[in-house]
Amino acid sequence: EVQLVESGGGLVQPGGSLRLSCAASGFTFSGTYMHWVRQAPGKGLEWVGRIRNNANSDTTDYAASVRGRFIISRDDSKNSLYLQMNSLETEDTAMYYCARENYFLENWGQGTLVTVSS
């Protein structure tokens, strides 16, 4: 069974940093592209970015709203995905989901809540 478990969310001040993690199991993580998607309170889904697999050099793509501030990485030895969030803004307040790609987003975690507030 595929499982994705996010962690690392919390309250952070504007301008601060936070690192989210996503622990994966039940599939061959190293061969899989992985995504982050976020959802502001009461709002819709927003794609944050994607990391390809090692065969594709772990290259990344980002939404314009986070490019230059967020970094997606992975550690295949730990079956883990990460989202390093820097220069956080109040508009980054959201539930952050990791998702497994099978062209589409086949599996989603339960999410971790990030609140950016002073």
Partner 1 sequence: DIVMTQSPDSLAVSLGERATINCKSSQSILHTSNNKNWLAWYQQKPGQSPKLLISWASTRESGVPDRFSGSGSGTDFTLTISSLQAEDVAVYYCHQHYSTPQTFGQGTKLEIK
Query: Contact positions toward partner 1, by CB under 8 A?
Result: 35, 37, 44-47, 50, 61-64, 97, 101, 103-111
Q: Is the CB of 76 or the CB of 101 nearer to partner 1?
A: 101
Task: Please give the radius of gyration of the chain, using alpha carbons only, rounded to the nearest integer.
Answer: 13
Considering the complex, what minimum distance in angstroms separates the CB of residue 63 from partner 1?
Answer: 5
- Report d(CA 75, CA 85) in Å as an integer: 17
Considering the complex, what minimum distance in angstroms separates the CB of residue 47 from partner 1?
Answer: 4
Q: Is the CB of 35 or the CB of 74 nearer to partner 1?
A: 35
Q: Is the CB of 15 or the CB of 40 nearer to partner 1?
A: 40
Q: Identify the three-state secondary structure at position 42.
A: coil
HEC-encoded secondary structure of 53-105? CHHHCCCEEECCCCCCCEEEEEEHHHCEEEEEECCCCHHHCEEEEEEEEECEE
Considering the complex, what minimum distance in angstroms separates the CB of residue 33 from partner 1?
Answer: 10
Considering the complex, what minimum distance in angstroms separates the CB of residue 9 from partner 1?
Answer: 14
Q: Is the CB of 53 or the CB of 109 nearer to partner 1?
A: 109
- Report d(CA 61, CA 72) in Å as an integer: 9
